[in-house]
Amino acid sequence: MACPLLDSLTLAEFAIALRPESELILPGYKGGAFRGGFGYAFKSIVCPTHDTDCIHSRLGNTCVYSEVFETPVPPGSVIMRKYPRAPHPFVLTPPLEPRSRFTAEDELSLGLVLVGRAIPWLAYFICTLEELGRRGVGPQRSRYQIHRAESLIRINGSGSVPRTLVYDGTQRKVMGVPHIIQAGDFPDGREIEAAVTIGFLTPVRIVCGGELASKLPFVTLFRTLLRRLALLAYFHCGQPANVEAMRGLIKAAEAVRVKESSLRWHDWQRYSTRQQTRMKLGGLVGQISYEGELAPFLPFLRVGELTHVGKGTSFGLGRYILREDR
Average pLDDT over residues 192-216: 89
Is 253 within 8 Å of 219 (Cβ atoms)? yes
CA gyration radius, the chain: 20
Reference 138, options 23, 60, 304; nearest CA is 23
- In this structure, whether the domain defined by 185-324 belongs to CATH 3.30.70.1900 is answered with yes
pLDDT in tens, 150-168: 999 877 666 677 789 999 9
* Average pLDDT over all residues of the chain: 85
Residues 6 or more apart whose Cβ sits within 8 Å of residue 203: 29, 266, 268, 281, 282, 283, 284, 285, 312, 317, 318
Model confidence, pTM? 0.90
* Domain assignments of the chain as residue spans, ordered by start: 10-183, 185-324
- Statement: residue 194 has pLDDT above 70: yes
3-state DSSP call for residue 150? strand
pLDDT score recorded for residue 29: 78
DSSP character for 54? -
Q: How does pLDDT run across 265-314, given as a tens digit for each residue?
A: 988 765 555 555 566 678 999 999 999 999 889 999 999 999 999 999 99
Task: Say what the pLDDT of residue 108 is.
Answer: 92
Alpha-helix residue ranges (DSSP H) falling in 238-296? 243-253
Q: What percent of the chain has pLDDT over 90?
A: 49
Region 108-132: mean pLDDT is 94
Strands (E), 220-300: 257-261, 264-266, 269-272, 277-280, 283-291
Task: Please return the burial class of 102, using the count of CB atoms within 10 Å of its CB with bins 0-12, 13-18 and 19+.
Answer: buried
**Closest by CA position to 1, among listed 207, 199, 287, 297:** 297
Lowest mean pLDDT among 22-26, 75-79, 124-128, 230-234: 75-79
For residues 177-189, average pLDDT: 84
Given this model, what pLDDT does residue 1 score? 43
Q: Which pLDDT does position 265 carry in this prediction?
A: 93
Can you give the pLDDT at residue 193? 57
49-106 pLDDT, tens digit each: 655 555 554 444 568 888 888 887 877 777 776 677 889 999 999 888 888 899 999 9
Residue 162 CB partners (closer than 8 Å, separation 6+) = 15, 150, 151, 152
Low-confidence winner among 10-19, 42-51, 168-177 (lowest mean pLDDT): 42-51
pLDDT of residue 161: 73
Which pLDDT score is estimated for 153? 86
